[in-house]
Amino acid sequence: MPRRRSSRRAAPRLSRHGRHGRVGRSPVVRPPLPAIDGRMEVFDMTVTTAVEYLRGAWPELRDVQFEVAMMPTMHDPRGIPRWHIDTEARRIVLFRIPIERLLIPGHDDELHRRFAIEGAVFRAAAEYAGRNPWDLGIPPFGDHDH
């Protein structure tokens, strides 16, 4: 008597070996670090790279402490400040939310956000040093004969 075939398909068998006979080996190296994709991480990384450049180019900024805060705690009648400078403590505090959120409408993409962050770092450092922000840039934008 012929055997009937079931209408159900048999579940594929799990094999200990792959196509080439070696599945399940552990990687030799650790997995890569997670990507920097959160707004806070991108903001911190952008500030850090701009500050490193400024400290390398301008000796008077090497001892200045740059900090990041979420929002200003003090009231300013002129508007919402993007940074606060404390010359006595040699400190510049950048406020992340006003810098990121008060962009020109239509310019809220990754590139314009980076420009805004770097621009705030340069303008705050220039205000601290008593210079024009364009003086802090690289030639032809900035003059390094300081």
Longest CA span, the chain:
100
Q: What whole-number distance in Å separates Cα of residue 146 and Cα of residue 140?
A: 15
Q: What is the pTM of this model?
A: 0.69
Q: Tokens 């850090």 belong to which residue?
A: 48
Residue 100 contacts residue 39 (beta carbons within 8 Å) = yes
Domain positions in the chain are 60-133
Q: Which two tokens stand for residue 122?
A: 């340069």
Query: Is the link from the previous residue into 59 a cis peptide, with omega within 30 of 0?
Result: no
pLDDT values of the chain reduced to their tens digit, one per residue, 146 residues: 566 655 566 555 555 555 666 655 555 666 676 666 788 888 999 999 999 999 988 888 999 999 999 999 888 888 899 999 999 999 999 999 999 888 888 877 889 899 999 999 999 999 999 988 887 765 544 454 54
- Backbone Cα Rg of the chain: 27
